[in-house]
Amino acid sequence: MLALPLITLIYDHSFWKKMYVNWKNNKWNYNAIRYFWIPCLFLFLAGLNKLFNGHELRSLRDLYSSFMLLPFLLITARGIFSIRVFKVAVIFVIIECFVGILEYYFKTRSFFVPLNNESMIFNDISIYGTRVFGFATNSPIFGLRCLIALFILEFIPWKRYLKWIFKVILFLGVIVSFNRSVVICCLVFYSLQFVQLAWNQRHSLRQLVRNKYFYDSLVTFILLALVFGSDFMMKGMNRDGVKREELLVQLNTTEKEKKFFDGNSENGLNTEYSNDSSSVQSNNDVSVENRSDTSSSLKQINAQKNSLSILHYPQLKEIYELDSLGAFTRNFLALTESIQSSGRKLIWLNYIQFIEKNPLVGNGSEKLYFTALNPRNNELELMHAHNSFLELFATNGLLLGLMYLLMIGMWWQKKNSPFIITILIYSMMQYGIFWGMSFIDVIFVFLIISNYNNVNFGSKPSRS
């Protein structure tokens, strides 16, 4: 998706000329300080951190550091706005939603990613267990694309009925991809959009009640709340799903269907597959049958360890290996005891304790991963933080991390606050922003620095 705006920027000589003239004539004004000098200072300090505390390039997964991409991120976000580019992006995701619906219908997670026996959907008790991938390599990426497309849709001056059709299709994509973070963020976004519109027009109640976008936001939020707040959806949002007895009663299952259901359960067809690589299990969860293959598995694991031995990434510790005596760790475990987090609690604790041990330099401004064993295939994998802020602080240390957040705060334009707050909330539950040069990074920075009015304020996108 980034190819079109990047190519446009490369050949747009007027864009570069205008940027140079603006900088030359206003070297020390507020915009120059926040968009040029502070990013330069951050790049300089991050470069020093990498030089003195980083690792050799050949010992890392990535041959670059994410902070190096900051200039390209700013320039791309500054020039990405184009109705044509946004239309193409939304239509692409709409097509992906249709593909995802077909994948769900044919009970396969992906038409494009080879997943062997894990590619088929056997468990339709839990919505969590029926997630499909669309064009992506996993369901979270598919769900995130749907969320971004919903954002972009607000900037396109399409007919109202057409936007509603596309919005419904994107909501179906959210359901079949079913990332719980995306579901929560959809509810948050439309509630914030409703509140912002009401606040901006609080002095003119007559104008507010005549604003069609006010009702669009309200109706969208109510529909989402009714759908995802239903009893079946709430139970289907967790890994266990609806209990078998409750499901049979709800579906008025006949005796014949019950026997078929039980037969599939006995044959192991009613099992749930989680594509989330963060679901780490201990050795106590390994069945007796799997232990017979211990020797071959160990050989495979040792071979992978040798292949990853040159990488300077720490090993993910189990909960009993962590320092559980600390007050923060004990309180964190107590507060999140009843929350199903797909193994994120363990990952977050590993990152938190890494930050506590390396508060100033982090990982030398190199993106931090942990190595962990995937229990489904006994393969070693690199695990990110599943939280953008933990990843930021673990990578750069607390001082540079806070400096980066301060820089973003100085860029923040209030007009797009519902979009920005929603992305920040998403990034607390997933690794959303701060990749370096991902599409969501570009959209996030565009929304922060943009002076464009979105369509929901009753006007076409234009500079204010």
Per residue in 280-293, pLDDT tens? Answer: 333 333 333 443 44
Strand partners, 370: 383
Confidence (pLDDT) at 55: 74
Confidence (pLDDT) at 118: 59
More confident residue, 155 or 122: 155
Phi first, then psi: give them for residue 16, nearest 5 degrees: -65, -40
For the cut 60, the answer to whether the pLDDT of residue 7 exceeds it is no
Say how far apart CA 199 and CA 208 lie, in whole Å: 10
Q: What tokens does 295 get?
A: 């020797």
Confidence of residue 45 (pLDDT cuts 50, 70, 90): very high
Structure letter (DSSP) for residue 125: S
Phi first, then psi: give them for residue 12, nearest 5 degrees: -90, 85
Q: What is the pLDDT of residues 203-246, one digit of tens each?
A: 777 777 777 777 777 788 788 777 776 665 555 555 555 444 45
Phi first, then psi: give them for residue 381, nearest 5 degrees: -130, 160
Of 127-131, 146-150, 178-182, 247-251, minimum mean pLDDT range: 247-251
Length of the chain: 464
Share of the chain above pLDDT 90, in %: 22
What average pLDDT is seen over the chain?
74
| Most confident option among 55-69, 72-86, 167-181, 204-218 | 167-181
Q: Is 25 exposed, middle or buried (0-12, 13-18, 19+ CB in 10 A)?
A: exposed
**Helix axes 160-177 and 139-153, enclosed angle (nearest 10):** 160
For the cut 90, the answer to whether the pLDDT of residue 109 exceeds it is no
Say how far apart CA 438 and CA 427 lie, in whole Å: 13
Of 149-163, 284-298, 301-315, minimum mean pLDDT range: 284-298
Q: Is 20 exposed, middle or buried (0-12, 13-18, 19+ CB in 10 A)?
A: exposed
For the cut 60, the answer to whether the pLDDT of residue 124 exceeds it is no
For the cut 70, the answer to whether the pLDDT of residue 4 exceeds it is no
Q: What is the pLDDT of residues 309-337, one digit of tens each?
A: 446 788 888 877 777 656 666 777 777 66
The CA R_g of the chain, rounded to the nearest whole Å, is: 24
Q: What is the pLDDT of residues 246-280, one digit of tens each?
A: 544 444 444 444 443 344 333 333 333 334 433 33
Q: What is the pLDDT of residues 84-106, one digit of tens each?
A: 889 999 999 999 999 999 998 88
Confidence of residue 121 (pLDDT cuts 50, 70, 90): low
Interior CA angle at 424 toward 322 and 430, to 5°?
Answer: 45
* 447-to-151, 422, 453 alpha-carbon distances in Å: 10, 11, 10
Q: What tokens does 32 get?
A: 């120059």
Confidence of residue 193 (pLDDT cuts 50, 70, 90): confident
Strand partners, 120: 108
Confidence (pLDDT) at 6: 52
Q: What is the pLDDT of residues 406-462, one digit of tens each?
A: 999 998 877 888 999 999 999 998 888 998 888 899 999 999 988 765 544 444 444
Provide the whole-model pTM.
Answer: 0.77
Phi first, then psi: give them for residue 370, nearest 5 degrees: -110, 145
421, 377 Cβ separation under 8 angstroms: no
Q: Hey, what amino acid is at 182?
A: V
More confident residue, 397 or 29: 397
Interior CA angle at 279 toward 278 and 280, to 5°?
Answer: 95
